[in-house]
Every structure is written in C-alpha cells, then in structure tokens.
Chains A and B, each alone.
Chain A
C-alpha cells in the first residue's frame, strides 16, 4: 500500500518544490520562459538556429519585452508573469538532438 502511494506523493513533492524554485528564480516576473534564459552555449545556439520561425519570433518578443522592463526597473503586471504550469520547454527536443549529434561525433573521433 505504502509502496503504491509513494510515487504519487513524490511527484507531488517534486512539483511543489519545482514551483517554489521556479518562482524564486525570478525570470518569470519578466514574462520569460525557462528556455529563454539558457546560457547560449554552442549547443544552445545551434538548437535556436533550428527552431521554426514562429517559435523564434515568440522567443525574441519575450526577450525584448524583458529587456525593456529590466531597463525600466519594473516587473510585468502580476497577471502576465509566466506560470510554472504554462512554461513550455520549447527548445529541449532540438537541444537534445544537437547534443546527441555532438556526442555521436565525439564517439567517432575517439576511434581515430
């Protein structure tokens, strides 16, 4: 019984902690998403290059708006903050593919 309950309990705990960490990180107050504030490593740059135009436009809009509000030393109105549930990891599929391709290349290079 206890065993069958624990995964549900753990995932609830995980999402609660995730929400606290997400709100504490602060970028959501500028209307940004998690994937908007990644360090632009070569992998991330390549993933951004592969994004469909619509997603790139939306990303650029969010970043421009955040810079504007940051310059004004203001946050967005509270109802426009990105919510934890509404954050989409739009870059992850592309990023995973880029990393997979890089690792494949590195594995080949090791053989020679």
Chain B
C-alpha cells in the first residue's frame, strides 16, 4: 500500500495534471472517519477528564490546572514562567537527560503553556507512541523536583524569553497591569527584577498549593476516552484546599514605557465580558468583529473594519476582546509610527466611543466569528488548549451551542453593549516612542 502511494506521488510530480486525476486514489482509501463528540468524566478525586476522539493518527494529551499567573503571591511573580521553563528539567522520577531522550525517541513533543488562569502540560505523539510518553507527561506535571542547580543553569532561558518579548505582547501585559492592578495584572513573563530570585522551595509550595486534583483536568484529542480515564486515575495528584483569589475589577489607569523604537504601540481597554456570561461574551466578540480584527484579505485595506477605516493606513489597529473567569477587557490595540501615533490613537478611541452596528454589519461579524471558532477547532493543538479551558473555567462548550448563541444575538443587543463604551473609563498602556501618544484622560 505504501509503495503504491509513493509511486502515485512520483507520477504526479513528473507527468502533470492529466495523470494526476487518473492516479487519484479510490475515495474509500482516504475517506475520513468523523470526529466523535466530546466525552467528559469526573473522577472521585475531582479530576475532570474530557476527550475528543478524532480518529486521526496523532494523539495529544494534556494535564491542565486552574492556576496561572493570577495565583502568584506578591513578590513571587514569575513562578508560572519558571514552571514553563522547568517542565523539561529533571523531576522526581526521571532525569532531564532521559526525559529528553525518551520524548525524542518517540518523535513526541512535551510542552508547558500557561495563561493568567491556567497551566497546561501537554504531549503529542503518533497513536503508536503515545503510551511511551504518557508516563513522562505525568512525571513532568505531577512530580516536579526543581533541583536548585538546574534552576540556576537554565536561568538564561528566562532571560532569553524576556529579551524576545515583542512590544505588541508587552503592551498587552502592561494593559493588564493598568486595568487589574493585582491578580490578573500579573504578567505571563517573570518581571526582570525577580529573575533568579525564585527558590526551589517557593516553586514547590506554589505547586503544592495550586496544582491539585480538584482543579485539574486531563484532556485528550485523538485518544480513546476509556484509555484517558484510566490514565487520569493513575496520576499522583491529591485534592487540597481551594485558594481564595481576589475578585477582579477593571480600573482606569495608565502605564507608559518609553523605548528606543520608531513605533508606538498602544492598547486601550475597558471592562468587557467574563467567561461566566456566554451571551455577553458572544455579544462582545461580535462587536469586536465589527470594529475589525486585522485585515482579512491579504494586501487589502481592511474595508470592513471600522478601526482601519478611521486610521486610513496611518497605523494598524485591531479590536481587543479578552475574557477571564470573572472579568474581561474590551478595547483596541494600535501600532503606528511615532509621528502618526497621536492621530491614530485618538481616531481609534473615537470609533470605540461611537461604536454601533447595523444588520448587514452584524451578519458579516457573525460569519467571521463562526469561521474563527470552527477554524480553532481544526488545529488540534489549539483544540486541546480550548478543551482544557472549557473544562477548567466552564467556558461555553460545544460548538453547536455556541453557534446557536451567535445566531440569536440581535443588532439591538450589540448596540446596547456598544453604547456603554461612550462613557466608559479606559485603562491604557503604551510602549515605544510615545512623544505624540495622548494620555488616557485625553481620550
């Protein structure tokens, strides 16, 4: 079978189109087996297992915890960045060397991603090899050792991460700082003044307090649900006392960082939708699509985007909509040459203040939002992260539900949300050459 397939490829390459159609394999050979729906099980120790059997040759499995930079104690910011960095170092069960070799040998990849409210350890491998690396994933996610000399030896990775932070990322981090002040304000990156200050003990106590079975989820894409439930049962995780978090509140405020850059990056936002309210989340997402999220047609002018129309090519502007479990941010992010930055930011803020939609704009926004949602589910890596967030944060789950919610939103509802922006107090962050960037009270 393999040789037949290879020869078909060769013919395609050398003989052109006519042969290509002739040599097309029979439909049955590649007919896809449809995905199965999401299956969820809750174990007695609180671990939620969720999986989608995609019947694809690649399996992805993740162990996720509802704990992120938000849970970092004061003066210990950056612990979660260190968790990302240490995920591939020695743990209590295996050395860094054997972990790396076994993962490599199976052609797999072990990663640790984190957000303000979650940490996700995940591994992906072909179906044939997933069993060999699942135990390594369990070790990385539940058996952390944080050997002090390894922490010190690998600190350059944190410095490299910090040096590689792009201004557009930095401005979003600073926006959280200005808007939330504590909790969600904590950056995804270790603050430069705390690099090398975190000890093995502080990492261990963070892990013990926050990576518990009662806030854990085991998620899988392309793996059978029974297999995953058995795996979740074998994990050495214990339930613990839930950590009480400060409720998030969106404040007005401003953070400005001048750098030696020819551009200015500015993010402006006010309170948006939280994950708790699906309807409002969808409404804000639709409003975001009508204001514009970048240019959908390559080399286009972004004619459908109100923000882009307002700045007329002087800069790049995109609407911003971020949702967390108990708060959200809605606004825009702009980048412009220093000379035009003032004009661009003022014009974009005016669009935000006067936003409204009509029916045709709304139906376009709905089509874009649905396409974006479904496109996320095509990428199984993004799907795995999405699945873990849905499970941990009770984010609206199945796409069918979400799609029908999108259909039900009316223009009047979007306009009701938009009208509140007219008098909203903004939080603002800016990075770059800020000589012409207005201050937040001038918007």
Asked if A101 is an interface residue, CB under 8 A from chain B, the answer is: yes
Residues of B within 8 A of A50 (CB): 147-149
User: Are the C-beta atoms of B148 and A108 separated by less than 8 Å?
Assistant: no
Partner-binding segment picked from B94-102, B165-173, B242-250: B94-102
B59 CB to nearest A CB, Å: 25
Closest residue on chain B to residue A108 by CB atoms: B101
User: Are the C-beta atoms of B149 and A104 separated by less than 8 Å?
Assistant: no
Residues of A within 8 A of B147 (CB): 50
Residues of B within 8 A of A14 (CB): none
Bound: A69/B97 CA distance, A:
43
Contact size range, B: under 10
Bound: A78/B148 CA distance, A:
38
Bound: A22/B14 CA distance, A:
81
Asked if A52 is an interface residue, CB under 8 A from chain B, the answer is: yes
User: Are the C-beta atoms of B97 and A52 separated by less than 8 Å?
Assistant: no
Residues of A within 8 A of B95 (CB): 101, 104
Asked if A19 is an interface residue, CB under 8 A from chain B, the answer is: no
A52 CB to nearest B CB, Å: 7
Asked if A110 is an interface residue, CB under 8 A from chain B, the answer is: no
Bound: A49/B148 CA distance, A:
11
B-facing residues in A43-97 (Cβ within 8 Å): 49-50, 52
Residues of B within 8 A of A101 (CB): 95, 97
User: Are the C-beta atoms of A105 and B97 separated by less than 8 Å?
Assistant: yes
Q: What per-residue 1/0 map shows which CB atoms of B141-156 lie under 8 Å from chain A?
A: 0000001110000000
Residues of A within 8 A of B98 (CB): 104, 108
Bound: A15/B127 CA distance, A:
57
A10 CB to nearest B CB, Å: 35
Residues of A within 8 A of B101 (CB): 108
A38 CB to nearest B CB, Å: 19
Interface positions of B (Cβ within 8 A of A): 95, 97-98, 101, 147-149
Q: Which 7 A-B pairs have the closest CB atoms?
A: A50-B149, A101-B95, A108-B101, A105-B97, A104-B98, A104-B95, A104-B97
Q: List 5 A-B contacts (CB under 8 A).
A: A49-B149, A50-B147, A50-B148, A104-B95, A108-B98
Known: A101-B95, A108-B98. 12 other contacts (CB 8 A): A49-B149, A50-B147, A50-B148, A50-B149, A52-B148, A101-B97, A104-B95, A104-B97, A104-B98, A105-B97, A108-B97, A108-B101
